[in-house]
Structure 1
Amino acid sequence: MTAASKKLRWQVFSVLRPSEPSPAARRWRTFHLTVLAVGLLAVILLSIDEFASGHRVYLRGAIWIVTIIFLVEYLARLWVAPEIPAYVDKSPTRARLHWIVSLPGLIGLLAIMPVVMMTGGYSISGADTASVFCILWILKLGLHAPAFGTLARVISNERAPIASVLIVFAILLMAAATAAHMFERVKQPEAFGNLPNAMWWAVVTLTTTGYGDVVPLTAGGRMIGSLLMISGIAVLALMTGVLATGFAQEERRREYLRVWDQVSRVPIFASLGVVTLSEIVGKLRTRYYPAHVTVLRRGDPGDSMFFISNGEVEVRLPTGGSVRLDDGAFFGEMALLNRQPRAASVATTRPTTLLVLYASDFYEIASHIPALAEAVENEAKRRREENLGREGKR
């Protein structure tokens, strides 16, 4: 494979990658979601006979276009599969085979099944099999939801407590179904005459759904139902607590790694040791700004300073001039050190990632890391002198 082909494959992979922040990738995601919405709307409208009777040709055409777009996307993703980090140590053929059987590959395959079925002779109507597969396009939304990956990690990390809760759920379910079967089978043989029917009532009651289609009539059955409802609230609350704690811990880990990656790009932090850097990472907050957005306004309170991880900002000075700062620079330190309102406005010139350090955290870090505080103060002094020089020339 030539170098040009590899470069092209990497560029296509970058555009198709869900987490890619580049403008081209964002435009692709917007286009992909728009096509998906159009396809699903066309399938839904096609199932309404009153509406479809006069627009059937257009709706079928829309579905055909959407399926062809998904087919092209599937082939493109198959081609760039060797660029996926998890498959870089495999041959291109093995990488593509692994991708085909992966969850994104299977979802992509389901998305193009209508093309295969229609090519094989199926027509597109509101009730045929091809249209049913079109509804499965909704699964592609999962590829745009990074939280699904987080959910999978949370379930993996918390599998022991989740398994314990599920075991408690199963014990309560079987015990309540058995007791209800014993108490209610004489009076309600259809609803409680066997364990599967009694288990249906137990599931409805334990999950606090309460359809009301099956209700115990005996005193013993009602007592079992009361205890089961109370137990169901406790079990569901316990499961919610486990998942909420897992999500919070996973989000903290992700944010820590994300901030660490951004901090390592700032030269003023790069020379610090790992222990010191870990202390700083815990204090910084990541903020993402699109182009031409005002970050600070003149006169705002000087309660924080900003480090540019990547991107560019324009500092609009009160003298009428402006200064541009890019990767590795920082701003807002003068107002923070002097505890004065902002003397200048700052706006992004292109998409920018900033690290925010609040005043209380800055002074806490400064007490432990004098070198960092000294570097910030020296830069603030240099900028003050530059501003004075500009005013003197005016």
Structure 2
Amino acid sequence: MREKIFNIIQIGDKSNRISRAFDIFITITIVSNILVTFLQTFEELDFLSGFFFVVEVITLFIFCVEYVLRIWTADLLYPGMRKCRARLRFMVSFDGVVDILTIVPVFFLSGFVIFRMLRVARIFHLFRLNARYDSFNVITTVLYEKRNQIISSVFIVVILMLASSLCMYSVEHDAQPEVFRNAFSGVWWSMSTLLTVGYGDIYPITTLGRLMAICIAYLGVGVVAIPTGIISAGFVEQYQRKSSISNIQDADIKEIAEIFVDRRYAGKTVGEVQDEQQLTVFLILRDDLSILPQKDTLLKLNDIIVIRGRKGVS
């Protein structure tokens, strides 16, 4: 029973009707909860406050039940850990933190402002859709794989922002003491300039300041293009590498190929995938490791398996 519940709520097996129904149900629940949160801010809809309250209570109750079940099956999500450690690992994960931050504020709606602000955390439930649909999941996968390059590019942006803000403050402070009052005013201007937003509330009036602004604006175009190019290249690589295992039977695989493991087959053993898809798994690439597969080896999300179609299978 625990394994069945795990496959339904954690893995999202699209070949299972119950799992697909749960995916649709939880998606509707998340969207309904967030929609109600927005509609409650309209004074014109005060006459529906009772209905909104009922919907909010029902959806939060569903979140509570799902949270308990996900903790109960956490040891299956992290098979290499003990039950207590696996459950703690889930509770401090992104999904676990979002779940608890969504549930807790309902008990303190009339309390401190910080608890009422935590209601915003339920919006982050939309990221849970990544776990349900492979097309969305590609985004998080690309960001994770290119995280080092993205962090480096953001670091470059921060350095240029600080440098340009201090330069502009030095040049414009005497001419505009009320506008460029301190270094933070320069940071605000450099942010809007480097990121090509250009609010126009702060701008240089001296000749030297305007010349510097032209150079910084050109730098901003290039700086914004750096992370954009990294992410775009990551998408291209991901889509070239990502092949759906469900379409293997329809392809004539005569040579060895690499297959990207999505959530449909994450959690299944190598033997189960081989029997279902009529293929042979030679190697599993997991992070920086190369694993020789056994029939009882569990596949994990984002694994790459090196396979070859069996003879006679089209």
| Structure-to-structure mapping, 1:61-76, within 5 angstroms | 61-76=54-69
| Structure-to-structure mapping, 1:159-238, within 5 angstroms | 159-238=147-226
Given the superposition, is the C-alpha separation of residues 151 and 56 from structure 1 closer, same or farther in structure 2, using an over 3 Å criterion? closer
Q: Is the 8 A contact 1:216 1:225 kept in 2?
A: yes
Given the superposition, is the C-alpha separation of residues 82 and 130 from structure 1 closer, same or farther in structure 2, using an over 3 Å criterion? same
Residue 14 of structure 1: CA displacement?
A: 1.1
Q: Which amino acid is 2:229 matched to?
A: G
Residue 171 of structure 1: CA displacement?
A: 3.5
Structure with higher RCO (Cα < 8 A, 6+ apart): 2
Q: Which amino acid is 1:142 matched to?
A: F
Residue segments in structure 1 that go unaligned for 5+ positions in a row: 1-7, 283-308, 311-325, 329-370, 380-394
TM-score normalised by length of structure 1:
0.59
Residue 64 of structure 1: CA displacement?
A: 1.3
Given the superposition, is the C-alpha separation of residues 94 and 153 from structure 1 closer, same or farther in structure 2, using an over 3 Å criterion? same
Q: Is the 8 A contact 2:130 2:140 kept in 1?
A: no
Residue segments in structure 2 that go unaligned for 5+ positions in a row: 260-272, 279-309
1:259-300 CA deviation, whole Å, 9 max, x = no partner? 4x864x78986xx6xxx323xx69xxxxxxxxxxxxxxxxxx
Q: Percent identity?
A: 25
| Structure-to-structure mapping, 1:113-124, within 5 angstroms | 113-117=104-108, 122=110
Residue 207 of structure 1: CA displacement?
A: 0.6
Pick from 10, 18, 23: which aligns with 2:17?
A: 23
Pick from 61, 68, 76: which aligns with 1:83?
A: 76
Q: Is the 8 A contact 1:114 1:131 kept in 2?
A: yes
Supply the RMSD in Å over aligned alpha carbons: 3.4
Given the superposition, is the C-alpha separation of residues 107 and 205 from structure 1 closer, same or farther in structure 2, using an over 3 Å criterion? same
Show the counterpart of 1:252. 240
Q: Which amino acid is 1:190 matched to?
A: E
Q: What secondary structure does 1:221 align onto? A: helix
Show the counterpart of 2:300. none
Q: Hey, what's the Cα distance between the residues in 2 that align with 1:243 and 1:195?
A: 32
Residue 149 of structure 1: CA displacement?
A: 5.5
Residue 183 of structure 1: CA displacement?
A: 1.7
Pairs aligned (count): 267
Q: Is the 8 A contact 2:169 2:183 kept in 1?
A: yes
Q: Which amino acid is 1:143 matched to?
A: R
Given the superposition, is the C-alpha separation of residues 212 and 78 from structure 1 closer, same or farther in structure 2, using an over 3 Å criterion? same
Q: Which amino acid is 2:173 matched to?
A: R
Residue 10 of structure 1: CA displacement?
A: 0.7
Q: Which amino acid is 2:94 matched to?
A: L
Pick from 94, 98, 108: which aligns with 2:99?
A: 108
1:70-123 CA deviation, whole Å, 9 max, x = no partner? 111111111111211xx11222222211111111111111121134336xxx48
Given the superposition, is the C-alpha separation of residues 71 and 236 from structure 1 closer, same or farther in structure 2, using an over 3 Å criterion? same
Q: What secondary structure does 1:189 align onto? A: coil
Pick from 5, 13, 32: which aligns with 2:26?
A: 32
Larger radius of gyration: 1
Q: Is the 8 A contact 1:173 1:203 kept in 2?
A: yes
